[in-house]
Structures are given as structure tokens and as C-alpha cells.
Structure 1
Amino acid sequence: MTLPPARDWLFSLKTFTASMLALYIALRLELPRPYWAMATVYIVSNPFVGATRSKALYRALGTMLGASAAVLFVPPFVESPYLFSFVVALWTGTLLYLAISDRTARAYVFMLAGYTLPLIALPAVTNPTGIFDLAITRTEEILLGIVCASVVGGAVFPNRLAPSLVERTDVWFRDAAFYVKETLSGRIAGQAISASRQRLAATVNQLEFLLSQLAYDHTRPDILARAHAMRGRMQLLLPIVSALADPLTALLGGANARPEGLAALLADVVKWFDAPLDASNANDEAEREADILRGRIAALEPQTAELATWEGALLSNALWRLRQVIDVWQDCRALRMLIAREAGVWRPRFRHWRLGGSARYFDRGMLVFSAGSAVAAIFVASSIWISSGWQDGAAAVSLAAVACCFFAALDEPAPQVFAFFVWTCASVVLAGLYLFVILPNVHDFAMLVVMFSVPFLIIGTLIPRPQFNLATMLVAVNTASFISIQSAYEANFLTFINSNLAGPAGLLFAFIWTRVTRPFGAELAAARLMRSSWQDVVLSTSPPPHGDLRELAARMLDRLMQLIPRLAATDDNRHPSIEGFRDLRVAFNALDLMRVRRRASDDMSASIDTVLDGVREHFNRCVARRARQPVPESLRAAIDAALAHVSTEASQGAPAVGPLPARQLREAQHALVGMRLSLFPQLSGVSGPARPEATA
């Protein structure tokens, strides 16, 4: 492990300063639990100002909402302990469902409101008359920590989030360049390629949360809009490159001669992707080179008469997709530069009807199950506490609720809950060391700061590192809480053991519970995502189109970005993520055909409808049998017949043929070629549809 850089030491120093300031003020104000103000600083602090402000705001709102619920529920239900336990569990589960249904920073409001109720309400059952004072003081202590963390973080060497956005996108650019270059070189499978595909999807998913915090970073609205536009194009690059892979494989790997000039064009595009991102004139040079590449693509376009052949249709499709890849990459480069420099004018190159959709996919069944599992865990833990008569058992139920909420969105929460248990135990040991060995020798606040400085400053340097974030944040927060610092020193070993072992006991229960109730892991989630994608393919072929086509496309793309990171990297050409891309392409091509058929002739509409009906029937079978089924040969025959029909009209070369412009005829041809390649990839390089003259 490398030593922490200077910025991590600065973050640690700022966080420690804010925590000591919060503790000092809480002690001076004689708040009953001043250590909560100190712990809150470590909960909300982040190396970036925007992230700290957003979390601080949402924690304040969540705390006040949870505290209000405690005041509302404790008096009427405290005399019915089991009913009260059910109310607490139901509240927590409902708010948890809302939290995991929101992938932005705003979810923290619901998450915190959910588990704040048991944190406040359960310890108050022995003294229900004091619930209002307990809720008020708890809110005051947390708000004090929030204010201190926000003021110190924003006033002392503030670290903005926007530069971090550029750093994270640079990681995406490196992976994307590798992925595109491998695809253009004819390599679409392999463990390295699959791993890069997973990283690309994971980065795009992470940016959604990061962009939700960017508005709190004093980022200008135009920069925020450009960041969202960049993420949208980053998300589209993967399926576009995947759509390019199949026609390239057919053209370069088939028995027929390779189109003249295509190999040289692909080699130059690979070089273009290696252009540096940060050189002062790199973007201008990349723009000029992109225009040259587009000109070469146009020069290689097959003649209108050649569009009636399978090879000509393949080449046209490949060149069309290649231009889209260049346009999307150039837009991403330009947007990155504008975000980094916070200046400049952007002229988008890639324009498509699919851009701009905001729909997201949520597996509601899994969300309900996750929230329901937390409800049951809290109720069972409360019942055990009630029946045992353990006076400090409320802490066990509270931490069990926190653990179930923290990791409810994970496919496999048990390992993280166990880590929570381990590091909480470590915090108990560290807190005991302080309470019984160090603090008896502390006589004033200045000495207390000195005694806290060494471990907390070291712990703080590790919080910004993702691999250590959970462990170090838990140690800092729990140690501060377990010491239970008051204005006067008071320590009783038996009281300390009894009260602070309740937390680990609750976490151990949460671990066993999640291990028993959620043993299935990512495999089930991936299978459900895949089946849901088949259902949306059916929707994309159903007349009239289901809802807004842009929103339907956005939902399918979002689901694919969730599916890819859940699939293990392999070197298999039939990797599930590749199959997932093909399903998405079938749906996108179906949507394109639905748009075209509105203005097509009756004969062409009938041939397109036959294709869409076949696709719908095939994916309905997959959904019904809960497994991917072989694609029927009748569907290939229908695609070939429609492609022959469209290709014949497109090859006539007239500006408009019947009611359809030549451009839309070309789009229909691309959609049919893409659908055939997606459904029958094993045949793309060895056979094509019959020539139009052969079907006459």
C-alpha cells in the first residue's frame, strides 16, 4: 500500500479539525451526547465540497424526518411492544424501498430517515415521556456536526468535484479506447475485452451518482448540462461499438474478398483513438482528422446498385456504424475539454432520436424483496430483544437495522455486513483502550485533542480510498460513539461491555439473517435483468409502440449498464454481455423499423410487420420458458425477404421511392441488417440473404 498523498492528509486534517470543533461546541452547550456531533462529521465529510454539502443537506433532512417519526410513533405504540416493533420495521422498510429506488444522492434522505427512527425510538421505550427531548437533542447534535463539517470543508482549501469528474472520465476514455481499438482490429471476445466492458459500464453507472452531487459544487448550469450530455454519449458508445463488431466480423472474416480500403481506414481510425486528450492543440487536430475520416467513409460507401447485395448492405451498415462511433467519441472528447476548461462552445456531431431519454430501470420485485427482508429482520430482532428482556438490546436492533439498510441494494449484502461486524468489534476494542487506559490521564480538552489526533488523523487519510472507505469510516464513527465522551469522565467496565457488545451482537444477527434470506447473489439479479430485457424487446415490436420510444430505449440501455458489471469476465464469444448487447440491438432496430413503417408502402409495411411479429414471438417464448431459445429459421427467412424488398428499392437510387425518402430506406436496410446479424451472428460471415433477383 502506497503512502497517502498530500490531499488525503489535508482531508484528514480538515475532518479531524471539524470533528473536534463539533465536539467542543457540543460539550460547551452541554448536549447529552456530544460524541454524536463528532461522529456526524466523519459520516458526512467527503474530500469534495459538493459531495459534503449534498450529504450534509440530505442527512439533516433525513434526521429531522426520522426524529419526527419517533415523536409521532412512540407515545401511541409504546405499550404494545410487538406492534411497536412492527411499526418501526415497516417505517424503516418503506423508507428503505424509496432509498434504493433512487440512484442519486437524494436517496440518503430516505435511507437516513428509515434507520433514524429505530436509533431514536427503540432506546426511548423505557422512558417514552422523554422522546421529544431525545429527538430534539439528537437532531441538534447531528446538525451541529453537519454545520462544522460543511463550514470547515468549504472554507479551508475547498476541493471541487468538477476536476474529479474529469479524472474519472479519463479512466473511461482509456478503457473505451482499448475496447474500440480491439473491436476495429477484429477482436470482440476475450477476458481483457470483457473486463474493459465491465469497467466501462461501472464507470457510467458511478457517474450518475457523481453528477447528482455536482450541482452542490457551485458548478455552472451549462457545465452540468454538458456533463450529463457526456454521460449520455458515454453510455451509447458501448452498444454502438457492439453493433459495429458484427458487420466488421462478417466483412473481415468471411470467405469473400475484403472491401478495398476498409482495412486501411480501420487502421487510421485506431490511430485516431490514440490521440492525447490533454495536449493544447489535440482537440483541434482530432477535429480535423475526424473530418478526414468521415470523408474517407463517404468515399467507401457502396454504390446504389451494390446495396442490393449482402456484401454491399454489410459494408453500408459497417460504415454507418463506424461514423457513429467517430461522432460519439468526438463529442465525448469535446465535452471533456469544455468541462475541464469551463469555457468554449460545443457543436454536437452525434444526433439521434434515442438521445435525451431519462427513464431508468428498477427491478421492483428485487427492491420489494430487499426492503421486505429488512422489515422482517428488524421485527425478528426486536422480538428477540423483547422476549430476552435485555436492557441494552435496543442497540442491537438499531445496528441490525442500520446494516440491513446500508447494504440492501447489493446483490450479496452478507460479506459487507460481516465486514461491518468485524470493524465494529475493532471499534469496541479501540474505544475500550481509550476509555480505560488513555482518557483517565486526560484533564482538559486540549489534551483530549492530542490523544485523539494520532489514530483519527491516520484513519482519516484512508477514508478517501474506496477499498478502505467502509472500514475506516466505521472505525472512526463507532469509536467516537462507543467512547461516549461526556463533560466529566465516567467509566464502568461492566456497563461499557454490556452496552457496546449489543451493537456487534445485532450486526452478527444481521449477517446471519442476510446469509439465510439472500443467498442467491448476482446470478439471480443478472437472470432477472436478462428476462426483463426480453420483455422490453417484445414491447419494442408491439404496435402501437409502447409509450415514448426515447424513454423505452433509455430504460433498456440503463438496464444493460446494470447487467454488464454483474457478469464475470470470460473469453467466451457467446458471453452473456455480448448476448445482452445483441438483444438491445434487436430492440433498437425494431424501434427504427417501427418508425420507418409509418410512411412505408403497404407491401413494405407488410414485410416489416412479418419481421416484427417473428421477433415478438421468439422473445415471448424466451420469457415464457425463462431461458434463451434458438431463433427459428422462419424469422431469418422473414428478415431476408424484407431486406430484399428494401434493398431493391434503396438500390434504385432515386431521391424518393414511393412515400419513403431514400434516407429512410437506407435506415430500414441498416435496421434489418443489424437485426439479422444480432439474431444470427453465427451465419453473418458465411451466408447472406438471397439476392433480390433470386427471389423474383
Structure 2
Amino acid sequence: MNYPTYRDWLFSVKTFAASMLALYLALYFQLPRPYWAMASVYIVSNPFVGATRSKALYRALGTALGAAAAVLLVPPFVEMPYLFSVIVALWTGTLLYLAISDRTARSYVFMLAGYTMPLIALPTVTNPGTIFDVALARTEEITLGIVCASVVGSTVLPSRLAPTLIERADAWFRDAAFYGREALLGHLVGTDISQRRQRLASTINGLEFLLSQLSYDHTHPEILARAEAMRGRMQLFLPMISALADPLAALRNLHVRPAGLDALLADAAQWITAPLAVRARDMHDDAGDPVADSLHARIAALQPERESLTGWDGALLSNALWRLGQVIDVWQDCRSLRALIAHESAVWQPRYRHWRLGGTERFFDRGMMLISCLVPVTAIIAACSLWISSGWHDGAAAVALAAVACCFFAALDEPAPMVFRFFLSTCASVVFAGLYLFVVLPHVHDFAMLIVIFAVPFILIGTLIPRPQFSMVTMLVAVNTATFISLQGAYDADFLVFLNSNLAGVAGLLFAFVWTRVARPFGAELAAKRLLRSSWHDVALSASSAPLDNQRNLASRMLDRLMQLIPRLAASDEHRHPSIESFRDLRIALNALDLRRSRRRLGGDLPDAIDRVLLGVSAHYAKCAEASARQDAPQTLLHTIDDALGRIASHGAASVAPEAPEAPGTPDTPATPPGASRRASASQRWMSDARHALVGMRLSLFPQQGTNPPHAAEVHA
């Protein structure tokens, strides 16, 4: 069992102190519901001051927006209860959709505004004249709690987010080093490797939200930019290692490995698993990384001669070395950025540069988002209908908590289990609140004694809030217990009122659980299937002749979708597991984009050959998307790729053919003009890019054909 750390105890004591300060001030200013100030402290508090500030700001904005909506909508529609129920549901669903569409800390504004409106509006429908007072009081109480949480969190031993960023980055480095080493040594599949792949993707996804909070932690903009760059290169590492594994596997199966390649791979694996630099100057860009520089020099020495590139063995080796160089550059960038972020010093110069870097587009499954938002909308309408038809006086509390529960977990693939945990934590809060309200509080006569009797349970619960596995449940227990006790300036408790009002909330959560279970019986499998189908659409688009507004954004969208897909797939040791196949899909799309870029710079019959390849790839993936199932790539596409490789090989052979001997007595051949030499070099570079893309595409589409040379790739003099 892991006991609370010093940091956990510090956070819990600070949060409890802030909650007691908020409660004292609320009682002093005679606010109608002082317990909301106490509860708000536990809602917005976070172990890190930046996260607390961002959540506090966004909670204040969300509360104000929700309260304003309640004030505007209750008076005109209070006499039309069913229509008002629909309006409340649509408001909540619309704001929830906006919240899910924003993957930064800013999403809390929309989430809170979505369920704050029913929390304020529904209890006042029987007395609409009080709506403004209730909205104002709730805003004041919540703002007071926010201010207290922010002030205490910022002034009393504040904890910064930057160290947590380093901790999470180091966890990624441990998993990535293991994954990279295994891939370089030829271990491509296995349950442990698959689990590391899932953790790597999950860490990258979690960093996106963390980085959105760094600006509230007084983080220097340059450090924030470095953190964004580090996350971007972390995203690239997995696909690059996957792309490198294919040609390495083919070379191993061909048994034609050149001398020095195994030693190079072993040394690269050892360098990847080496300890991270502990000092910023160890990664100073002026000095560089001598080990990485040495690896690059050995890669250059192993490059096949131009004549060898006309054969399959040479093309495979060239592709593997090219991708190994990219992996080394990306890993070096990640290490450098990690050291510079940790020590906030030195100047970073990127090693890996590519025209495709810089895309900002993210992928959102709009269909699943609509389904996620329809569940709360229909739950609110159904719960309101039951409340109206039954005439239950406290039914508003049931509807409000049902709305809160459905909104909290709407973005999850399987929200029902978390809604049930919400239900259980609320039941526990009702019991705790009842014991305090009817057993303990009658013996309390001053605020100091109140602090003493609250200290032990709330501080103990608070130590579990920083732990991800307990965070949601313990926070809900603290918030609900503070709310259900309903502390006022004077003791005034009625057991029947307490039981009726709080059982309404429990009933609402039970209804939310049943409704969510019925309305969303599907889980991660459907989400993964939709992500796969969408990825096939984008692969078809990348290989089509349709104009692309921004290839960088298309690549960014596909990479972001892959990071969403991998954690949804179960760990497996299968060679054809969807996670491995999905990396191949991404590589095919990126290779298609490279081919589209290269074909414009090539002459002769090469553009037509490349167009036929792209057309075949686009048709194949369009077929997969239409069938909603992965299809085997047709053999005709293999022949088309082989034909394009053969034509590139023919051009390469022609470019390196020996010159005819000079005839006796003829004048010396004039020197090649510099411009022609540059054009020839550029043409070779574009042909090399096209060759790499075609080899990668062939290996990804037909991994079992890696040992079979293309039928037209070999050129015989």
C-alpha cells in the first residue's frame, strides 16, 4: 500500500484551510448557502498552483455564464414546464458539445456553464421571483470559494507544474527507450511492447491538457514553446520507430545484412536507453551530442553506393538507414528539450526538420461527440418529465444531479461505470453528512470546534484527491458531504427534510446510471472502429488527386487520431494487431503525401507511374472505409508499386552509367555547368525521396512481401 506523501498531506491541509476560510467568510457575510463556498474550494483545488488558477478562473466564468442563462430563461418559460425542460436540456447539450470540442483547460468554462444553469434554474421554477437572488448568491458563494482556494494555493508553499511536466516526460522516456530498444533489436511484437505503446500514447494525450495549464503557472513563454515542441516530437517517435522496424525486419529475413549494421543498431539502442542528461550544459547545442554525431557518421559510411540502389537489397538498406537517422534526430531533440525545460537555460536548435512539421489540426469524432451530448439531453428531458408528472417537490435536485453526472463523464467511451461510482460516492456522502448533522453538530457551539471536528475526515480524504485512481471519487465525497450538511449560521436540521432532499439527489444519480447504460451500451470498441474508418478516409484522401489545403494539418490530424486510437486497443502480441496496422496506415498516408510532393519535381514517365500508385492506394482505402473493415491490398497494387520502383531504378541506372570513352584526337569534354550540376543533384534528391516513399509504402501494404524483390526493380545492363 502506498501511503500519502508529504506533497499529498500538504495539499490536503492547504485545501482544508482554504475551505474553512471560505466557510467562515461566507458565514460572516451571511450568504444564504455558505456551504457552497466550502464545496467550491474542493472543486477547484489542485496540487499545483497553475492548475488551481486556471480552474478557478474558468469556474468563475462558467458559473457566471450559467447563472446569467438561468436568469434570462426562467421567467419567460416557467409557465411551460415541458418546453422549459427541452430548453434546459438543449442548453446543457450545446455547452457540453463545446466543452468536448476543446481539449484544453478552457473546456471547463463550457462544461460548468452547461450544468450550472439547471442547478440554479430547476429548484426555482416553483418560485421564479427568486431566480435573480439565487443566481447572484450562488455566484458570490462560488467566487468566494474560488478566491480562497487561489490565494491559499498561491501563497502557502505553492507547487509548480513544471516539475510534474518533467516527471511525466521521464515516464514517457522510460517507456519510449524500452520500445525503441526492442524495435532496433528486432523484437517487434509482444504484450509488454503493446502495453508500452498504449502508455506512450496515453502520456502524450495527457500532456496536451497539462500544457494548457502551464501559462497559469508563471511559466516563461519560451519554456512553454519548448514543451509544445517536445510533445510534438514525442508524437513522432512512435510512428518513426514503427517505420524503421519494417525495413529492418525485411533485411533480417533476406540475410543480406551488411557488415557493421548489427553493431550500429546495438549501439543506437544503447544510446537510446542511456540515462538522461542531468545538467542543461550536457545537452548544449554548441557541443552537440558526440554519440549521436558518431551514429550519424556510421550511418553515412554504411550508405549503399548509387549503383546498389537499383536493387531491392540496396533500396531496403538505404530506407532503413534513412529512417534510423530520423529516429536519432527526433530522440536527440526530445532529450535536449527535456534538459532545457528542466533547467530553463541554453538555446535549442532542432536536429529533426521536416516540411510537414507545424500542423495544428486535431481530430474530433463529431458523430461520437453528438451521441455523447444527446445522452445528457435526453436524460434531462426524461427526468424532467418524470418530475413534472409525479409532482415531487424535491425532484429538481434529482434532475440537476442527473445532469451533472451525465455531463461529467460524457467524453468517456464508457461513462456508465463512472456514473455508478458517482452514485456510490454520493450515497457515502449522505451517510457522512447525516452522522455529522444529527450526531456531531448538535454539540458544536463555535467555529473553532467546527474546524476541529471537520479536520480529521476532510484532511484524510484530501490526501487521496491528488491520486488519479481516487481523485474523482474522493473529490465528490468531499464536495457532496460539505453540500449535504448544508451548514448555516445557526443549527436548524430536520431529519425528514434532509432525507427527502438528499434521497432526491441519489435517485437522480441512479436514474443517470440506468439511462446512460441503456442509451450508451457500446464502449471503446465502437469508438475504435469509427477512428479506424475515419483514418482510412484520410489515407484515401492523402493519396487522391484532390487538392489539399494544408498537408501539414492533414498529417497532424492523422497523427492525433492515432494517439487517440492506440489507448483504446487492447494489448496483444499479434503481428496483425490493429495498433500495428494503424501505424502502417499512417505511414502509407505520409508516404503518399511525400509522393505527391516529389512527383512534381520528377521528369519522364515517373509522374505517371507515381500517379498510378496513388490511385491504387486511394481506391484500396476507399474500399476499406466503405466496407468498414480492413481489406487485403490487391496484388495489382503491388505490381503498380513495383513498376514505379523499377522506373526509378532505371533512371538511377542511367544517371550512373559510365561515360563513353573519348575518341582519339577529340578535344576535352567541356566541364559541366554549375547550374546543371545543381539540377542533377536536386533530381537525385527527389528520386531518393520518391524511392524511400515507395519502399515504405510497399513494406506497409505488403509486409509479408518484404523478402520478395520487386519484379521490375532490378535493372540488368
TM-score after normalising by structure 2: 0.95
In the alignment, is residue 484 of structure 1 matched against residue 471 of structure 2?
Answer: no
For 2:215, the equivalent position in structure 1 comes to: 215
The whole-number CA distance in structure 1 between the counterparts of 2:214 and 2:253 is 46
1:57/1:539 CA distance change after superposition, 3 Å: same
For 1:670, the equivalent position in structure 2 comes to: 692
Q: CA deviation at 1:566?
A: 0.1
Per-residue CA distance 1:278-337 (angstroms, 9 max, x = gap): 434754698110000000000000000000000100000000100000000000000000
Q: CA deviation at 1:653?
A: 5.5
Q: Show the 5 A alignment for 1:400-439.
A: 400-439=402-441
For 1:682, the equivalent position in structure 2 comes to: 704
Is the 8 Å Cα contact of residues 251 and 259 (structure 1) preserved in structure 2? no
For 1:274, the equivalent position in structure 2 comes to: 273
Per-residue CA distance 1:207-250 (angstroms, 9 max, x = gap): 00000000100001100000000000000000010000100000
Match of 2:573 among 553, 559, 571: 571
For 2:263, the equivalent position in structure 1 comes to: 264
1:663/1:128 CA distance change after superposition, 3 Å: same
The whole-number CA distance in structure 2 between the counterparts of 1:81 and 1:287 is 70
The whole-number CA distance in structure 2 between the counterparts of 1:165 and 1:652 is 54
Q: CA deviation at 1:252?
A: 1.3
For 1:174, the equivalent position in structure 2 comes to: 174
The whole-number CA distance in structure 2 between the counterparts of 1:679 and 1:673 is 10
Counterpart of 1:632 in structure 2: which amino acid? P
For 1:101, the equivalent position in structure 2 comes to: 101
Per-residue CA distance 1:352-395 (angstroms, 9 max, x = gap): 11211110000001101111111011100111011111111111
SS at match of 2:463: helix
Q: Show the 5 A alignment for 1:145-224.
A: 145-224=145-224
Counterpart of 2:19 in structure 1: which amino acid? S
For 2:356, the equivalent position in structure 1 comes to: 354
Per-residue CA distance 1:245-279 (angstroms, 9 max, x = gap): 1000001123x322211000001011111221143
1:263/1:490 CA distance change after superposition, 3 Å: same
Q: CA deviation at 1:581?
A: 0.4
Q: Show the 5 A alignment for 1:368-383.
A: 368-383=370-385
For 2:76, the equivalent position in structure 1 comes to: 76
Q: CA deviation at 1:686?
A: 4.2
The whole-number CA distance in structure 2 between the counterparts of 1:51 and 1:155 is 14
The whole-number CA distance in structure 2 between the counterparts of 1:226 and 1:276 is 21
The whole-number CA distance in structure 1 between the counterparts of 2:202 and 2:459 is 31
The whole-number CA distance in structure 1 between the counterparts of 2:71 and 2:163 is 43
For 2:316, the equivalent position in structure 1 comes to: 314
Identity between Structure 1 and Structure 2 (%):
68
Counterpart of 1:328 in structure 2: which amino acid? V
Counterpart of 1:690 in structure 2: which amino acid? A
Is the 8 Å Cα contact of residues 396 and 503 (structure 1) preserved in structure 2? yes
Counterpart of 2:413 in structure 1: which amino acid? D
Q: Which has the higher mean CA deviation after the structures are superposed, 78-87 or 270-279?
A: 270-279
Is the 8 Å Cα contact of residues 645 and 713 (structure 2) preserved in structure 1? no
The whole-number CA distance in structure 2 between the counterparts of 1:202 and 1:556 is 16
The whole-number CA distance in structure 2 between the counterparts of 1:146 and 1:353 is 45
Q: Say which one has the larger Rg.
A: 2
1:170/1:293 CA distance change after superposition, 3 Å: same
Q: CA deviation at 1:504?
A: 1.0
Give RMSD over aligned pairs.
1.4
Q: CA deviation at 1:664?
A: 1.5
For 1:624, the equivalent position in structure 2 comes to: 626
The whole-number CA distance in structure 2 between the counterparts of 1:650 and 1:381 is 72
For 1:593, the equivalent position in structure 2 comes to: 595
Q: CA deviation at 1:3?
A: 1.1
Is the 8 Å Cα contact of residues 67 and 117 (structure 2) preserved in structure 1? yes
For 2:662, the equivalent position in structure 1 comes to: none
Q: CA deviation at 1:546?
A: 2.2
The whole-number CA distance in structure 2 between the counterparts of 1:459 and 1:98 is 32
Q: Which has the higher mean CA deviation after the structures are superposed, 641-650 or 14-23?
A: 641-650
The whole-number CA distance in structure 2 between the counterparts of 1:677 and 1:170 is 32
SS at match of 2:125: helix
Per-residue CA distance 1:606-651 (angstroms, 9 max, x = gap): 0000000000110111111111111111100110111111233345
The whole-number CA distance in structure 2 between the counterparts of 1:580 and 1:328 is 21
Counterpart of 1:311 in structure 2: which amino acid? D
SS at match of 1:661: helix
- Give structure 1 stretches of 5+ with no counterpart: none
Is the 8 Å Cα contact of residues 277 and 335 (structure 2) preserved in structure 1? no
The whole-number CA distance in structure 2 between the counterparts of 1:200 and 1:689 is 39
For 1:461, the equivalent position in structure 2 comes to: 463
Match of 1:661 among 683, 697, 703: 683
Is the 8 Å Cα contact of residues 256 and 313 (structure 2) preserved in structure 1? no
Q: Show the 5 A alignment for 1:438-453.
A: 438-453=440-455
TM-score after normalising by structure 1: 0.98
SS at match of 2:257: coil
Is the 8 Å Cα contact of residues 250 and 686 (structure 1) preserved in structure 2? no
Q: CA deviation at 1:659?
A: 9.7
Is the 8 Å Cα contact of residues 553 and 588 (structure 1) preserved in structure 2? yes
The whole-number CA distance in structure 2 between the counterparts of 1:431 and 1:339 is 46
The whole-number CA distance in structure 1 between the counterparts of 2:277 and 2:477 is 39
For 2:660, the equivalent position in structure 1 comes to: none
Q: CA deviation at 1:2?
A: 1.4
For 2:335, the equivalent position in structure 1 comes to: 333
Counterpart of 2:690 in structure 1: which amino acid? A
Counterpart of 1:92 in structure 2: which amino acid? T
Is the 8 Å Cα contact of residues 649 and 715 (structure 2) preserved in structure 1? no
Is the 8 Å Cα contact of residues 539 and 545 (structure 1) preserved in structure 2? no
The whole-number CA distance in structure 1 between the counterparts of 2:626 and 2:53 is 48
Is the 8 Å Cα contact of residues 123 and 396 (structure 2) preserved in structure 1? yes
SS at match of 1:165: helix
Counterpart of 1:258 in structure 2: which amino acid? R
In the alignment, is residue 581 of structure 1 matched against residue 580 of structure 2?
Answer: no
Counterpart of 1:677 in structure 2: which amino acid? L
The whole-number CA distance in structure 2 between the counterparts of 1:411 and 1:591 is 32
Q: Which has the higher mean CA deviation after the structures are superposed, 40-49 or 654-663?
A: 654-663
Q: CA deviation at 1:49?
A: 0.6
SS at match of 1:664: helix
1:289/1:422 CA distance change after superposition, 3 Å: same
Q: CA deviation at 1:601?
A: 1.3
Q: CA deviation at 1:598?
A: 1.4
Per-residue CA distance 1:462-502 (angstroms, 9 max, x = gap): 10000010111000000000000000001111110000011
Is the 8 Å Cα contact of residues 275 and 286 (structure 1) preserved in structure 2? no
Is the 8 Å Cα contact of residues 96 and 405 (structure 1) preserved in structure 2? yes
Per-residue CA distance 1:13-48 (angstroms, 9 max, x = gap): 100000000000000000000000000000000000
The whole-number CA distance in structure 2 between the counterparts of 1:217 and 1:658 is 53
For 2:366, the equivalent position in structure 1 comes to: 364
Q: CA deviation at 1:547?
A: 1.7
The whole-number CA distance in structure 2 between the counterparts of 1:452 and 1:130 is 32
SS at match of 1:638: helix
In the alignment, is residue 291 of structure 1 matched against residue 255 of structure 2?
Answer: no
The whole-number CA distance in structure 2 between the counterparts of 1:161 and 1:414 is 31
The whole-number CA distance in structure 2 between the counterparts of 1:210 and 1:163 is 12
The whole-number CA distance in structure 2 between the counterparts of 1:298 and 1:656 is 21
For 2:393, the equivalent position in structure 1 comes to: 391
- Count of residue pairs brought into register by the alignment: 694
Match of 2:611 among 586, 605, 609: 609
The whole-number CA distance in structure 1 between the counterparts of 2:143 and 2:153 is 15
